Amino acid sequence: MAELTVDDLHLAYGDNPILKGVSMTLDRGEVVSLLGPSGSGKTTLLRAVAGLEQPHRGTIRIGDKPVFDGAARTDIPAEGRNLGLVFQSYALWPHKTVFENIAYGLKLRRIGGAEVGERVRHVLEQLSLAPLAERYPHQLSGGQQQRVALGRALVYNPPVILLDEPLSNLDAKLREEARAWLRELIVRMQLSALCVTHDQSEALAMSDRILLLNNGRIEQQGTPEEMYGNPLTLFTADFMGSNNRLAGRVAEIRDGAARLDGEGFALWGLARPSARIGADGTAMIRLERIRLADGPGDNRVEASLTTSMYLGDKWEHLFALGPARLRAYGDRPLAAGAHWLHLPRESLWVF
Amino acid sequence: MRASALAGLPRGLTILVTAAAVLSPLSLIFYQSFLTAPFFDARKTVGVGAYEFIFADPDFWQASTNSVSIAAAMVVIAVPLGALLAFVMERTDLPGKRWIEPLLLVPSFVSPMVLAFGYVVAAGPVGFYTVWATELFGSAPWGIYSLVAIGAIAGLTHVPNVYVYASAALKSLGSDVEEAARVAGASPFRVALTVSLPLIQPALLFSAVLVFFLGFELFGLPLVLGDPEGHLVLSTYLYKLTNKLGVPSYHLMAAVAICIVAVTFPLVLLQRWLLQNSRKYATIKGKAGRMRELPLGRWKWVAAALIGLWLFVGVVVPLSGIALRAFVSNWGYGANLAEVLTLEHFVSVWDEPMLMRAIRNTILIGTVGGAIAVACYTAIGFATHRRNDGWSRFVDYLVLVPRAVPGLLAGLAFLWVFLFFPPLTPLRTTIFSMWLAYTVVWLAYGMRLISSSLLQVSTELEEAARSVGASRGQVSRQITLPLIRPGLMASWLLVFMIFEREYSTGVYLLAPGTEVIGAQLVSLWQGGAIDVVAALSLINVVLVGAGLAVALRFGVRLRD
């Protein structure tokens, strides 16, 4: 059952359209990430769901209750939507202790003092914050603040929690731990979560489903595997991973495969919807899919090594193929000169 | 969740009361200016006779010319000095900066009436410094009653107004742009002239308009210093109209008031526009890092001496004059300071119930009245906070209106309001009338204090409260208000000092029961009671000084 349904949502700041007809659903117990570059409208969408931005068309429903309907002029204010929202900056109230920050939402719901205490303590324990209840926000580390912000949003059991870049304020090492912890918590507590992020690896790791936004529209949506392994557009392919691009002309399309001819290569790959025979096209392949080969063969190119970089767990080699540059991983350094590279046709997309 | 119809009620009421308090006095002035007699006179008719009269009066034109020349002189003096002062204070290794900083702002907290009086007793024809200089050198090469002197004194005492804006702009200007100029080979003063000052040009332009505007509002200085040689400016022309004709000439006063507002209101709008523009520029700034101070070298002492000279002329001379005059029985050539020392002026203040009432009222209006005023400003602040609708914009402009009406006119207008609306008349002789006028006159100032506190509360803290289910009212009371409490305390202190300092607003509202020191000084000065004026001035300075001391002790930012 859908906990959250957004249908054809339009939103503009003055004359500047931000959301141009976005539709999505969030099912119970599901984590959906809104992914996109800055300016794509992902945070605006989240804030519109929360009731902090004013769309001008479309509908937003929480469960089966419409909270925004442009046609029917329904617009329930933020405080009436009963959602949990975790801010990027955490936005903890500096004049309230950890306990008071979390308890505030319960007090607003006129819940008795004893029950407030019990429920706040329960949340504090679940978030391993129990010893910090009487501290003020400025006495907490970034990770602790993030957990308080989460507790504040969870304590009154909202049907959906909204997370705005929940990990971006943590430093790199802490972020990976927090990512695993957050995913585990969401699954354990069976939360339905809508999460904004600009980091594709975070989205891949955290979500059941990813919505990729581009310029106010949904570019593609699907499971993390689909988004990474089967991108339908160049934008999706480009955004979801580290890629090699080759420009050329689409020479042939046959049985779902396409051949791209370019300067110094002719490669077969999976034809994407936008590929047209005779038109300019782009071939794209993830860095980790290129293999070093020992000689010529099917879908192989010869390129000369420009430089190599040591990354710790592997090497990254940079090759020149005419005007194009190709990057590939290897497990050992390479001698200077020309090398053969294999670009498997099932890993290469032609757009 | 409360019904939304009821939720809007406090806001609507706040806006309505504010609009009434701001617009009724002004509309009454406007109405009065088109009558041929005072509004309570049965023989009044509608007409432009009042305007015809003042436009035919050569004194009016002389006063207008004087107002414009004094305002222009103030701009010419205050803007370059204030800008240079800001650069020296913000960017160089001037010795003793920490001590100089609070002193720089003193002139803006002392009542101009007190300052003017201080100049008379210190540097007037028989002032302390004049007498001493004459005894030492045979003559004193200054006079303070000429138009040039008034312009110079007004200009020097308004340097802080420019300094405040210029130094704020310099603070927000990233030092990297200056460092780049230094690396490229520019000397400190070249950096100031070619990089820093051009970059804060919007702030300087704004303060130039502000100073010109304040020049138009000037009342205490020209009243005291312009009197001996008969120099009138628009505000003193208005004040003296009654004497001139010998009958209550409300319609003429209203016509002059409208002429003044016709100049000041566009200036206020211009200031608002410039301020918004300068904020637009402020976003394009370099990295604001801690900068190494520019070494002044030998210039260090020149700069320190110039600032010292300015402080001497602008602060020490008038204040020491008052302090001395309050303790001497008489003063003139041949008087020996040790022989004329006395406390009798304070005794006569003590013995005069009217003056004691004035002191009590002044303290009351600053403390209790200040607190209530801050509460009112806060209510208005909340009525527009984070709302971008037509009502908010209306209030935005509404609070600007009193800014354009000099205190003298506002006091006059409130007097008329109390006379015009019979239900209000009994309140006229209570301190409430004075408080209302003060609160409205300083509305724009107070709102700036409140809104700068409100703006420091991050939007997300309020949005977070709404997302967990707090209504707008609950957010205001339970999140925003506790967060701005320190700002409100600071505002109270600043409003206290402003209310202690105020003098022109009370001039026309002065009555038995509403005495305040500021207005009482004007009235006593007119009566020539110089001894009591000196004692009362000193008491006034002490009151403001007490506020200033508390403010400095608690690190309150003295600038808005």
Percentage of chain A surpassing pLDDT 70?
Answer: 100
Average pLDDT, chain B: 86
> CA–CA separation, A22 vs A68, rounded Å?
14
> CA–CA separation, A277 vs A279, rounded Å?
6
Lowest mean pLDDT among B86-90, B225-229, B295-299, B471-475: B295-299
> CA–CA separation, B425 vs B427, rounded Å?
5
- Per-residue pLDDT at B10: 84
> CA–CA separation, B550 vs B555, rounded Å?
8
Lowest mean pLDDT among B287-296, B524-533, B547-556: B287-296
- Measured in angstroms, the CA of B472 and the nearest CA of chain A are apart by 9
The per-residue DSSP string of A1-49 comes to -EEEEEEEEEEEETTEEEEEEEEEEEETT-EEEEE--TTSSHHHHHHHH
Q: Name the residue type at position B144.
A: I
Return the number of CB contacts < 8 Å for A and B: 69
Q: Is residue A258 within 8 Å of residue A282, measured between CB atoms?
A: no
> CA–CA separation, A128 vs A131, rounded Å?
8
- The DSSP output letter for A264 is T
Number of H helices, E strands in chain A: 8, 21
Mutation site for B-interface testing, chosen from A95, A146, A150 by largest number of B Cβ within 10 Å: A95
Higher per-residue confidence, B505 vs B338? B505
- Per-residue pLDDT at A319: 93
**Predicted confidence band of residue B285 (pLDDT cuts 50, 70, 90):** very low
> CA–CA separation, A75 vs A55, rounded Å?
9
Q: What is the mean pLDDT of residues B216-241?
A: 90
Query: What angle in degrees, to the nearest 10, is found between the helix axes of B407-420 and B9-33?
Result: 100
Q: Is the pLDDT of residue B286 over 80?
A: no
Q: Is the pLDDT of residue A144 over 60?
A: yes
**Predicted confidence band of residue B37 (pLDDT cuts 50, 70, 90):** confident
Q: Is residue A213 within 8 Å of residue A41, measured between CB atoms?
A: yes
| Model confidence pLDDT, tens digit, residues B340-395 | 888 888 888 898 889 999 999 999 999 999 999 999 999 999 988 888 788 888 99
Q: Cβ of A312: how many Cβ atoms within 10 Å?
A: 5
> A243 pairs with which residues across the strands?
A286
> CA–CA separation, B406 vs A14, rounded Å?
38
HEC per residue, B460-518: HHHHHHHHCCCCHHHHHHHHHHHHHHHHHHHHHHHHHHHHHHCCCCCCCCCCCCCCCHH
Hey, CA dihedral for B460, B463, B467, B470, is it positive or negative? positive
The first and second tokens of residue A174, run together, are: 């802490």
> CA–CA separation, B514 vs B90, rounded Å?
43
Q: Is residue B323 within 8 Å of residue B538, measured between CB atoms?
A: yes
> CA–CA separation, B228 vs B325, rounded Å?
19
Which residue is it, tokens 């008349």?
Answer: B425
> CA–CA separation, A331 vs A337, rounded Å?
18
Domains contained in chain A, CATH given? 2-233 (3.40.50.300), 242-350 (2.40.50.140)
Whole-number Cα distances in Å, B378 to B55, B157, B374, B388, B485 = 42, 31, 6, 17, 11
The count of residues in chain B is 560
Strand A291-293 to A300-310 pairing:
unpaired
> CA–CA separation, B248 vs B419, rounded Å?
14
Name the residue among B221, B203, B205 with its Cα closest to residue B267.
Answer: B205
Q: Which residues on A lie below 8 Å from B478 (Cβ)? A: 104
> CA–CA separation, A272 vs B262, rounded Å?
70
- 8 Å CB contact of A153 and B468: yes
Q: Which residues on B lie below 8 Å from A92 (Cβ)? A: 464
Alpha-helix residue ranges (DSSP H) falling in B313-442: 317-325, 337-340, 344-351, 353-384, 390-398, 401-404, 407-420, 431-441
Name the residue among B99, B41, B80, B114 with its Cα closest to residue B201.
Answer: B80
B283 and A CB contact within 8 Å: no
SS3 A152: helix
Q: Is the pLDDT of residue A322 over 80?
A: yes
Which residue among B461, B469, B470 places its CB closest to the CB of A91?
B461
SS3 A328: strand
**Predicted confidence band of residue B3 (pLDDT cuts 50, 70, 90):** very low
**Measured at the alpha carbon of residue B354, what is the angle toward residues B350 and B358, in degrees to the nearest 5?**
85
- Per-residue pLDDT at B200: 85
| Model confidence pLDDT, tens digit, residues A14-55 | 889 999 999 999 999 899 999 999 889 999 999 999 988 889
Which residue is it, tokens 């509403």?
Answer: B514
The first and second tokens of residue B203, run together, are: 């702030």
Domains contained in chain B, CATH given? 77-229+266-341 (1.10.3720), 343-560 (1.10.3720.10)
The count of residues in chain A is 351
Q: Is residue B144 within 8 Å of residue B120, measured between CB atoms?
A: yes
The per-residue DSSP string of B9-49 comes to HHHHHHHHHHHHHHHHHHHHHHHHHTBSS-TT-TT--BSSH
- 8 Å CB contact of A152 and B468: yes
Residue B484: closest C-alpha in chain A:
A95
Average pLDDT, chain A: 91
Residue B461: closest C-alpha in chain A:
A91
SS3 A175: helix
Q: Who's near B148: CB < 8 A, 6+ residues apart? A: B73
Higher per-residue confidence, A162 vs B296? A162
Query: What angle in degrees, to the nearest 10, is found between the helix axes of B299-311 and B58-91?
Result: 140
Collect all residues from A whose CB is shorter than 8 A from any CB in B. 50-52, 77-85, 87, 89, 91-95, 104-105, 108-109, 152-153, 156, 162
Buried b (16+ CB within 10 A) or exposed e, B32-71: bbbbbbbeeeeebeeeebbbebbeebeebeebbebbbbbb
> A317 pairs with which residues across the strands?
A308, A328
Q: Is the pLDDT of residue B292 over 70?
A: no
**Helix, strand, coil shares, percent, chain B, to 5:** 75, 0, 25
Q: Which residues on A lie below 8 Å from B473 (Cβ)? A: none
The first and second tokens of residue A84, run together, are: 């949990």
Chain B residues 68-97 within an 8 A CB cutoff of chain A: none
Q: Is the pLDDT of residue B332 over 50?
A: yes
Query: What angle in degrees, to the nearest 10, is found between the helix axes of B128-137 and B112-123?
Result: 20
Q: Cβ of B378: how many Cβ atoms within 10 Å?
A: 24
The first and second tokens of residue B442, run together, are: 């300083």
- The DSSP output letter for B421 is S
| Model confidence pLDDT, tens digit, residues B386-436 | 887 888 889 988 988 888 888 898 999 999 899 888 888 888 889 999 999
Q: Is residue A275 within 8 Å of residue A281, measured between CB atoms?
A: yes
Q: Cβ of B151: how many Cβ atoms within 10 Å?
A: 23
- Per-residue pLDDT at B280: 60
> CA–CA separation, A113 vs A116, rounded Å?
5
Q: Is the pLDDT of residue B245 over 80?
A: no
B465 and A CB contact within 8 Å: yes
Q: Is residue A292 within 8 Å of residue A269, measured between CB atoms?
A: no
